[in-house]
Amino acid sequence: MNSNTPALMLDTLGKTFDRPAVVDLSLRVAPGEFYALVGPNGAGKTTTLKMIAGLLRPDTGGISVYGIDALQDPLAAKRIVAWVSDEPMIYEKLTPFEYLEFVAGLWEMPAAVAEERARALIDCLGLGAYAHERCQGFSKGMRQKVALAGALVHDPKLIILDEPLTGLDAASARRVKDVFLKDCVMGRRSS
């Protein structure tokens, strides 16, 4: 990988269900860059993001993440990618702190690092007052933030967000943007 290696490259990506959902999509995203897919309902945005995250296999084309061929070596790509669904999936019986420790455990992060990172993310996203309450009963926006924190816990190099601000109030939306803009998630690298 050299300094010109894109964070993400899609090459004539295609996926058809009953009818074509994504047709010959090519794009290139540089490290540190924000890139938005905007389009009407059913345009194929979620399908595209799921293919990048390795949850759907494209029919045609290629996906490269920081120089890794995500179709040839999906595990290596998944190690550096985070995906947040438009429908947050979290464990209801866990508290935000427990959930983040659990996710960090899946990534085999050392416990001390996981704890520090969980605390920073909870603080960053304004979840401090709820850190030790079970997620069941949390509002949609709070669940969204817990899911986002879970995706960020292993310090991914590429973050894929599907409608990340849906359901968030104005202040929370601002805070989530700040998480990315101000690098408040533990000195995020730029390459």
- 67 binds ligand ATP, rule: CB under 6 A: no
Residue 39's binding partner among Mg ion, ligand ATP, none (Cβ under 5 to 8 angstroms by kind) is: ligand ATP
Please tell me the distance from the alpha carbon of residue 157 to that of residue 77, in angstroms, as a whole number: 10
- 111 binds ligand ATP, rule: CB under 6 A: no
How many residues touch ligand ATP (CB under 6 A)?
Answer: 10
Pairing verdict, β 20-29 and 8-16: antiparallel
Asked if residue 12 lies in contact with residue 171, where contact means CB atoms within 8 angstroms, the answer is: no
Please tell me the distance from the alpha carbon of residue 67 to that of residue 100, in angstroms, as a whole number: 28
| Cβ nearer to Mg ion, comparing 46 with 64 | 46
- 47 binds Mg ion, rule: CB under 5 A: no
Please tell me the distance from the alpha carbon of residue 70 to that of residue 8, in angstroms, as a whole number: 10
Least distance between ligand ATP and beta carbon 28 (Å):
20
- Read out DSSP for 152-183? HTT--SEEEESSTTTT--HHHHHHHHHHHHTT
Asked if residue 153 lies in contact with residue 118, where contact means CB atoms within 8 angstroms, the answer is: yes
Print the binding letters for residues 46-65 with ligand ATP: x by CB under 6 A, - otherwise: xx------------------
- 45 binds ligand ATP, rule: CB under 6 A: yes
87 DSSP assignment: S
Least distance between ligand ATP and beta carbon 16 (Å):
9
Using the rule CB under 6 A, give the single segment among 42-50, 65-73, 131-139, 171-179 that binds ligand ATP.
42-50
Residues that bind Mg ion (CB under 5 A): 45-46
